Amino acid sequence: MPNAALPAFDFLAQRRSHPAKLMTGPFPSRAELEAILTVALRVPDHGKLEPWRLVVLDRAALARLADLAEARAVALGGDAEKIGKGRGQFDKGLLAVAVISSPKSHDKIPVTEQMLSAGALCFAVLLAAEAAGWGANWLSGWPSHDAAFAAQAFGCTGAETVAGIVHIATFAGDMPDRPRPDLARVVTWA
């Protein structure tokens, strides 16, 4: 489990996601999750538009979404692999937070900025959960990009889309970190 007692910079230097499919219980209680979401909702948001909303998914909700993903896969003519990939995170998940990008009509703040805020909120939920000592993983998957699934699962309407589904639970084991970006390749000093 990540060390929640580290100073902020050290925590950020060491933090990493943990695969949702390998996480176990326990997972945050409602009060613990509310504390995480309160911190995460300090996310930058140009113009205070609040262009996002959150849907908390408990085990029963995740089970419903697994069945919904399967029904959508069948309706789309998908094969067993598509059904399996669609159900996967919902079958295995214990607690997740769906971040819905919900852009508002505004004459100065473009939708792209509002979607960036939703992406930042996904990362903020991830960071806050990890900082509180939980394992977390930001997932999408094909159902997230399927408008009919998003409408039925999360009530997405109009321009609303799924920015991400952040799973939060316990990761007890340890795995090698993924390779991290080489500054020389991605940073230009102008």
**What is the spatial distance between Cα 40 and Cα 15, in angstroms, rounded to a whole number?**
16
The site for ligand FMN, by CB under 6 A, has a size of 9
Shortest distance in whole angstroms from residue 140 CB to ligand FMN: 4
Among 48, 108, 178, 185, binds ligand FMN (CB under 6 A): 178
- The verdict on 2 binding ligand FMN (CB under 6 A) reads no
Least distance from C-beta 174 to ligand FMN, angstroms?
A: 13
Helix extents (H) in the chain:
8-14, 30-40, 59-75, 80-92, 111-131, 147-154, 183-186
181 near ligand FMN, rule: CB under 6 A: no
Query: 88: buried, middle or exposed (CB in 10 Å: 19+, 13-18, 0-12)?
Result: middle
- Other Cβ atoms closer than 10 A to 95: 25
DSSP summary character for residue 33: H
Backbone φ/ψ region at 155: left (φ over 0), alpha (ψ -120 to 50), beta: left
CB of 107 to ligand FMN, least distance (A): 28
Residue 25-64 contact track with ligand FMN, rule CB under 6 A, x = bound = ----------------------------------------
Residues 131-170 that bind ligand FMN (CB under 6 A): 137-141, 164
Q: Does 17 bind ligand FMN (CB under 6 A)?
A: yes
